[in-house]
Structure 1
């Protein structure tokens, strides 16, 4: 049977006490953990060297260190990523379409941060791929999130590398429609033969993410009407994990 390591158990006791308290003196830690002063001091010194505990020398107090906070944040991030992936996988499976999560990456770029596709769909979307912020269906959503004026949009429009340009007036009208409805479509304008639809992720207020679906070929307006509530629901489910 595996042996319990006393020093590790004592370290855990100290970390638990520090996590639930304001900065503590050595004497406080000894009283709360039941460890002797020498053992507690040696463990605290080691935890400080490892960055898991911070020693405020002038005040003679100890508190949780940045290293432990980073470990906790990383674990929480992994859990959030798993939740997002599960939601996207279920949406992709139920729709039979590729599902993509994009985020605004600065003033000029959008970055693909997650993607899911059913087994029978042969579309590849490399993660962390960057694209011009206003490209595709996602770009129409991000045009709203960025708060760009019609004049600014008109200046950007020619630079977007359209496969089939929709025309400036039509594009601006689509952005206005997206502001009203909460979703936007790209019918082969960005990539020939590829349909895209995107919704903003989040409730009220600005959002730096958009959830999109992609399909080869075309999708009718009636089909879009059935897709929007399902994609929007998934976006609302994803929002708390971002």
Structure 2
């Protein structure tokens, strides 16, 4: 019969002991590894995880073995590890719930601005819309919830990437390409990085006929959201004018700040 060494036993005991937060340390470590995998693009090696987390390889190997057995991580033929398929269902459910929490705030945006309000997340290299409340105008914008678009041609994409390091933005754009949705779409990394600088300077992002001719969108990120999120309003360029922008942006920023508080309290509960 195989026996466990004293060092194995002490490692197991340390992994399952209560964490400083009052939770279970092994659970905290497992979720931390999943988030580090997501930050690394979804696929990593054990040595990379050890270097970034500071955990010893045996501990990481044991945690990853458990995550593989439960389907939350998959081991690739090259022996690297990738995020597993069971996370998809969790992510889809969480996105729907996030959209549900956001809807009252988007409804306020519609009431106060008159334009369609949206909420979007950065999922990998793409923008995904998770909630929308339509304008009451007969001429209004509509984006299907669940729709995925590339970041470079959207206001929410600019808002979400504004604080991302330039080299990471360039790498993302290299992966996605920068196809022109309209003649006004930004199609060079330099142009997009300049637009991100504008977002940091002004505190909001603009899609000026870049995704669809005749449509302007204004967007801001949701500060301290547990996952990168942005809200926006979109409407005909004839209504979302420069003068309207001056009135709408403070409303967007206020609603984003209030939504941030709700998401943070939900995240911590």
Residue matched to 1:147:
165
1:174 aligned residue: 195
CA gap of 1:151–1:130, structure 2 versus 1, over 3 A, is: closer
Q: Counterparts of 1:84-103 in structure 2 under 5 Å?
A: 84-103=102-121
User: Given the superposition, is the C-alpha separation of residues 197 and 142 from structure 1 closer, same or farther in structure 2, using an over 3 Å criterion?
Assistant: same
Contact persistence 2:107–2:133 (CA under 8 A): yes
Larger radius of gyration: 1
Pairing of 1:87-166 with structure 2 (within 5 A): 87-106=105-124, 108-121=125-138, 122-149=140-167, 151-152=170-171, 155=174, 158-164=177-183, 165-166=185-186
Say if 2:233 is the partner of 1:213.
Answer: yes
Provide the rounded CA distance (Å) in 2 between the counterparts of 1:182 and 1:195: 17
Find the counterpart in structure 2 of residue 3 from structure 1.
Answer: none
Is the partner of 2:243 in helix, strand or coil? helix
Cα distance in 1 between the residues matched to 2:148 and 2:99: 19
Gap change, CA 1:132 and 1:99, over 3 Å in 2: same
Q: Tell me how far apart the structure 2 counterparts of residues 154 and 130 of structure 1 sit (CA, whole Å).
A: 15
Q: Give 3-state SS (helix, strand or coil) of 2:193's partner.
A: helix
In structure 1, the residue corresponding to 2:216 is in which secondary structure? strand
Aligned CA RMSD, in angstroms, stands at 3.0
Map of 1:31-50 to 2, 5 A cutoff?
none
Unaligned 5+ residue runs, structure 1?
A: 1-73
1:160–1:179: structure 2 CA closer, same or farther, 3 Å change rule? farther
Higher-RCO chain (CA-CA 8 Å, sequence separation at least 6): 1
Which residue is 2:209 aligned to? 188
Counterpart CA distance in 2 for 1:112 and 1:154 is 19
